[in-house]
């Protein structure tokens, strides 16, 4: 039978029984036909859970195919030899069997004699990676042979194969950086030709090899990934998201592609992939309501099947980005149910992060705080890296402050003072220095003297106020140093872009809870957001704005 006709017929067969029946009807076939038959058998008989039908190894036709490859390996073409090797590896044939030993030995002999083409080298490299992993010394030999060929003429498959080999043999890339520089440069010109799988593999390799200097290639790959979002497998999408996070890439059209893909695909997505999507949104401060709403619905229906780390990954971004989805009541009811049944299975820091994120959006885990504040839990927290560091103690303090201010009905254990911090360490959420300076200049223009306001004031209650102004009972502005006759305290929150979700006017959870608590502590909170003052062009306009914002009726200063 003509080979192409054989391949076409083979590809239309969907079970090993049909394939064996078809092969039995042939009197003779080439080794490339036989190896393709093995490949087709592996395609229909192997899925994510492994081999569907172990009994196929006893089939007479299958055994005859294997016999042909075992005892005639030296007569096989490179294509037949290496395709058969790949298929048998996929079928989980024992690597120590005489069949596999014969094929591997013949492949490595041809490699040593320099008889393998670039395509064959790729096929052998893929097989050895699958079979022996990073410890295989032959992989470096394959890379050496590949380098002897004109790298500018490599196909996408050859490029991907070398990245995969370097990823497991070199790791950080220091030993082969010259080769990597050439490879990165060549790959840049082939990006548009890359399949979803190839793009994902290369991005993953660039992360593992720490190719932070390959900015043009990374940028091109990330932009190229946009059109592949609907076609990535779960594993491929995770690789791409990890690359976006590692290299600090933020491509708006990629997020938009995720927003179209995730809501309609979430029911079939692996929980780890959903977790990575949420981590991407959280790290990039992207409040995507379509994604968050879909994840909330998915959590309500599938929370019982999630690991504790996945539960935290699903929920924490809601608090971080200060968002309550339409299904919030069902979402947090489900979370409470899960916590009641699985509380002891959570790692201490994971549980603390989860409960802290809840209070940011006014969901109060009062039933679980006695455990959090207990000496036993705090000891476990201390024992697990990173221990009771500043972040953990700040979260504990904020939890305690929340129940004190917002849950007066809470009567459980209190957080011991030795576990409380006096000031909230949020350097990444600190005030925008340039914006703060402009507001202070405007206040000076308005109030005439610097004594009437203070900046970056530490309160006795954990929070730092960007600008504080004191008023007496008649509404006159007092010098900030004055302690008597203070009737009102105004806290100006000068909120730069870093306190908002990306491309949004929605405050992050940390800033929202701070402003809420300052109000409960007796401050009059006045928000000065960046988007209201960035366009004010001079001190007079800034002063006019501040007067209307802080003193809407009238004001004066007390000498």
Per-residue pLDDT of the chain (559 residues; tens, 9 = 90+): 788 899 899 999 988 899 999 999 888 888 999 999 999 999 988 887 788 888 888 899 999 988 988 888 889 999 999 999 999 999 989 989 999 999 999 999 999 998 888 888 888 988 888 888 877 878 878 877 877 777 888 889 889 988 988 888 775 445 678 888 989 999 999 999 999 999 999 999 999 999 999 999 999 999 999 999 999 999 999 999 999 999 998 889 999 999 999 999 999 999 999 999 999 999 999 999 999 999 999 999 999 999 999 999 999 999 999 999 999 999 999 999 999 999 999 999 999 999 999 999 999 999 999 999 999 999 999 999 999 999 999 999 999 999 999 998 999 999 998 999 887 765 445 668 999 999 999 999 999 999 999 999 988 888 999 999 999 998 899 999 999 999 999 999 999 999 999 999 999 999 999 999 999 999 999 999 999 999 998 999 999 999 999 998 766 676 6
Question: CA 62, CA 65: separation in Å to the nearest integer?
Answer: 5
Q: What is the DSSP letter of 192?
A: G
Question: CA 129, CA 133: separation in Å to the nearest integer?
Answer: 4
Question: CA 107, CA 73: separation in Å to the nearest integer?
Answer: 9
Strands 476-478, 556-557: parallel, antiparallel or unpaired by DSSP?
A: parallel
Nearest to 513 by CA among 497, 496, 499: 499
Q: Do the beta carbons of residue 218 and residue 187 sit within 8 Å?
A: no
Q: What is the pLDDT of residue 526?
A: 97
| Cross-strand partners of 527 | 493
Write out the H or E segment, with its range, that includes residue 159. Answer: helix 156-169
Q: What is the pLDDT of residue 421?
A: 87
| Cross-strand partners of 477 | 471, 557
Question: CA 65, CA 395: separation in Å to the nearest integer?
Answer: 64
Rg of the Cα trace of the chain?
32
A 10 A CB-CB count for 559 gives 6
Q: Do the beta carbons of residue 298 and residue 266 sit within 8 Å?
A: yes
Q: What is the pLDDT of residue 1?
A: 72
Question: CA 400, CA 414: separation in Å to the nearest integer?
Answer: 7
Q: What is the DSSP letter of 334?
A: H
Q: What is the DSSP letter of 502?
A: T
Q: What is the pLDDT of residue 263?
A: 97
What would the two tokens of residue 474 be? Answer: 């008649």
Q: What is the pLDDT of residue 427?
A: 47
Q: What is the pLDDT of residue 425?
A: 66
Q: Label residue 50 left, alpha or beta by phi (over 0 means left) and psi (-120 to 50 means alpha).
A: left
Q: What is the pLDDT of residue 555?
A: 66
What would the two tokens of residue 400 be? Answer: 């305690």
Angle formed by the axes of helices 433-447 and 539-550, nearest 10°: 80
| Cross-strand partners of 525 | 491
CA distances in angstroms from 417 to 64, 320, 403, 412, listed in the order given: 77, 26, 15, 15
Residues whose CB falls within 8 Å of the CB of residue 385, separated by 6 or more in sequence, listed in order? none
Cis peptide before 446 (omega within 30 of 0): no
A 10 A CB-CB count for 481 gives 8
| Cross-strand partners of 490 | 469, 524
Q: What is the pLDDT of residue 47?
A: 83
Q: What is the DSSP letter of 462?
A: B
Q: What is the pLDDT of residue 428?
A: 47
Q: What is the pLDDT of residue 173?
A: 47
């Amino acid at each position: 039978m003509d080979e192409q006709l054989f391949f076409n017929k083979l590809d239309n067969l969907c079970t090993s029984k049909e394939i064996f029946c078809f092969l039995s009807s042939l009197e003779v076939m080439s080794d490339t036909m036989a190896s393709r038959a093995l490949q087709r058998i592996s395609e229909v008989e192997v899925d994510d859970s492994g081999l569907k039908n172990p009994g196929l190894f006893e089939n007479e036709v299958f055994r005859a195919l294997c016999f042909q490859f075992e005892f005639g390996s030296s007569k096989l073409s490179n294509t037949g030899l290496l395709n058969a090797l790949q298929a048998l590896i996929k079928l989980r044939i024992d690597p120590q069997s005489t069949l596999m030993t014969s094929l591997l030995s013949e492949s490595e002999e041809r490699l040593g004699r320099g008889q393998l083409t670039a395509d064959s080298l790729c096929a052998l490299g893929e097989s050895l990676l699958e079979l022996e992993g990073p410890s295989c010394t032959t992989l470096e030999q394959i890379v050496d042979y590949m380098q002897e060929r004109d790298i500018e003429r490599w196909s996408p498959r050859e490029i991907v194969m070398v990245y995969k080999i370097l990823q497991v043999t070199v790791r950080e890339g220091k030993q082969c950086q010259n080769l990597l520089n050439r490879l990165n440069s060549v790959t840049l010109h082939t990006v548009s030709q890359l399949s979803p799988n190839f793009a994902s593999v290369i991005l993953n390799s660039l992360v593992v090899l720490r190719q932070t200097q390959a900015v043009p290639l990374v940028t091109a790959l990330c932009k190229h990934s946009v059109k592949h979002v609907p076609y990535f497998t779960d594993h491929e999408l995770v690789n791409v998201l990890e690359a976006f996070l590692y290299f600090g890439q933020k491509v708006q059209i990629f997020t938009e592609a995720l927003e179209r893909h995730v809501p309609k695909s979430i029911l079939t997505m692996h929980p780890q992939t959903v977790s990575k999507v949420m981590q991407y949104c959280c790290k990039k401060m992207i409040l995507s309501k379509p994604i968050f709403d879909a994840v909330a619905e998915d959590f309500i229906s599938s929370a019982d099947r999630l690991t504790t780390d996945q539960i935290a990954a699903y929920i924490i971004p809601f608090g971080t980005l200060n968002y309550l989805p339409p299904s919030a009541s069902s979402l947090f009811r489900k979370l409470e149910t899960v916590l009641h049944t699985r509380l002891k299975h959570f790692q201490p820091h994971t549980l603390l992060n989860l409960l802290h994120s809840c209070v940011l959006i006014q969901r109060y885990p009062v039933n679980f705080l006695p455990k959090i504040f207990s000496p036993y839990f705090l000891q476990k927290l201390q024992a697990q890296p990173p221990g009771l560091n500043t972040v953990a103690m700040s979260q504990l303090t904020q939890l305690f402050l929340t129940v004190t201010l917002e849950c007066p009905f809470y009567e459980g254990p209190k957080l011991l003072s030795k576990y409380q911090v006096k000031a909230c360490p949020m350097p990444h959420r600190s005030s925008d220095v340039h914006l703060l300076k402009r507001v202070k200049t405007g206040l000076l223009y308005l109030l005439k003297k610097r004594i009437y306001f203070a900046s970056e004031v530490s309160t006795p209650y954990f929070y730092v106020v960007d600008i504080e102004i004191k008023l007496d009972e008649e509404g006159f502005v007092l010098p900030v140093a004055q302690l008597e006759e203070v009737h009102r305290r105004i806290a100006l929150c000068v909120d730069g872009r870093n306190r908002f979700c990306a491309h949004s006017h929605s405050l992050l959870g940390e800033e929202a809870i701070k402003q809420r608590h300052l109000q409960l502590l007796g401050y009059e909170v006045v928000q000065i957001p960046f988007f209201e003052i960035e366009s004010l062009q001079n001190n007079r306009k800034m002063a006019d704005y501040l007067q209307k914002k802080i003193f809407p009726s009238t004001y004066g200063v007390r000498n």
